[in-house]
Amino acid sequence: MGACSLQVEYPGRECMLEQNEEFFHLVTDDGPERIRIHEYDRVYDVPGLYEEVVYNRLQCDSPHVITGLLKDAIQRHGDMKTPLRVLDFGAGNGIVGECLQDAVETEAIVGIDIIDQAKTAVHRDRPDIYDDYYVMDLSEVDEGDQQKLDRWNFNALVTVASLGFGDIPTRAFVNAFNLIENRSWIVFNIKDRFFSEDDDTGYNKILQQMIGNSLKVYKKHHYCHRLSMAGEPLHYYAIVGRKENDF
Ligand SMILES: C[S@@+](CC[C@H](N)C(=O)[O-])C[C@H]1O[C@@H](n2cnc3c(N)ncnc32)[C@H](O)[C@@H]1O
């Protein structure tokens, strides 16, 4: 992806905002446009902009970290299901799908996102990655959606950088979890605060209830997801586990 022609201006290091408030300016002939990183519809509209801001400038490495941990876990736990039929939930413009294809043997990769612009960006920038890509809201799964998804017989759920912060709500995450077969891979990351007593998103409670009951955790890895605009590390947990039964 060529991002070099984009002109992006970043706020100074004194800019200490919550992650979902962080912004930059895209400079074009029309002048500077202020865009929040979490305005995904606008960010995906511009080829290479997400890659430039999140991956080049803010050094996000989560897709590689997560898919690398999955690869290690597959090698260690030979009894688990492969090749993978993956549901990439909150797939965005497809970077995780691309890393999955490189890291592990897949039979199918299907993306879901809640906005049309993500699907459009995937078709524009990474047309060969996904076997199918749905724009869906899994907060409510109707019969039609259920049928579309059931036919893939998913044996892995992967969700990167999409939980909390007003993105995927707990209900949708639980519905996605329940769409996947028992004894499947469950792989996701989440900001460390949302998986702690300080959480105010509901994720900590849900995850604590899941673990040991519906979800067996093989690996819980604390790492730097990306830098903030001020250059500070933002820490997440990466979780690799196995679904035992519906939640
Ligand atoms: C930070 S991006 C991560 C994209 C991709 N997973 C990656 O790591 O590059 C978060 C994505 O979650 C999507 N999203 C937010 N709420 C969602 C929901 N309820 N259901 C599905 N996707 C959602 C956004 O549209 C966005 O594409």
26-41 pLDDT, tens digit each: 999 999 999 999 999 9
Long-range pairs of 204-208 with CB within 8 A, sequence gap ≥ 24: 206/170, 206/173, 206/174, 206/247, 207/239
Q: Three-class SS of residue 72?
A: helix
Q: Is residue 150 domain-shared with residue 199, that is, in the same domain?
A: yes
Q: Is residue 76 domain-shared with residue 187, that is, in the same domain?
A: yes
End-to-end C-alpha distance for the chain, whole angstroms:
39
Q: Is residue 42 domain-shared with residue 68, that is, in the same domain?
A: no
Question: Residue 90 domain-assigned?
Answer: yes
Q: In this model, does residue 3 exceed pLDDT 50?
A: no
Q: Could you read off the pLDDT of 122-175 as tens digits, one per residue?
A: 999 999 999 999 999 999 999 999 999 999 999 999 999 999 998 999 999 999
Q: Is residue 109 domain-shared with residue 181, that is, in the same domain?
A: yes
Q: Any idea what the CATH number is for the domain that residue 201 is in?
A: 3.40.50.150
Ligand 1 site residues (CB inside 6 A) read 40, 62-63, 90-92, 95-96, 112-115, 118, 137-138, 160-162, 167-168, 172
Q: In this model, does residue 203 exceed pLDDT 70?
A: yes
How many domains is the chain built from? 2
- 52: domain range? 8-57
Give residue 118 CA to ligand 1 midpoint distance, Å.
8
Q: Whose CA is nearest to atom 26 of ligand 1?
A: 92
* Ligand 1, atom nearest to 62 Cα: 8
Q: Dihedral angle at the C-alpha atoms of 109, 110, 116, 118, nearest 10 degrees?
A: -30
Q: Is residue 81 domain-shared with residue 44, that is, in the same domain?
A: no
* Residue 44 structure tokens: 């995906």
Q: Could you read off the pLDDT of 76-131 as tens digits, one per residue?
A: 987 666 699 999 999 999 999 999 999 999 999 999 999 999 999 999 999 999 99
When pLDDT is cut at 50, 70 and 90, the band that residue 15 belongs to is confident
Q: Is residue 35 domain-shared with residue 154, that is, in the same domain?
A: no
Q: In this model, does residue 4 exceed pLDDT 90?
A: no
Give residue 168 CA to ligand 1 midpoint distance, Å.
7
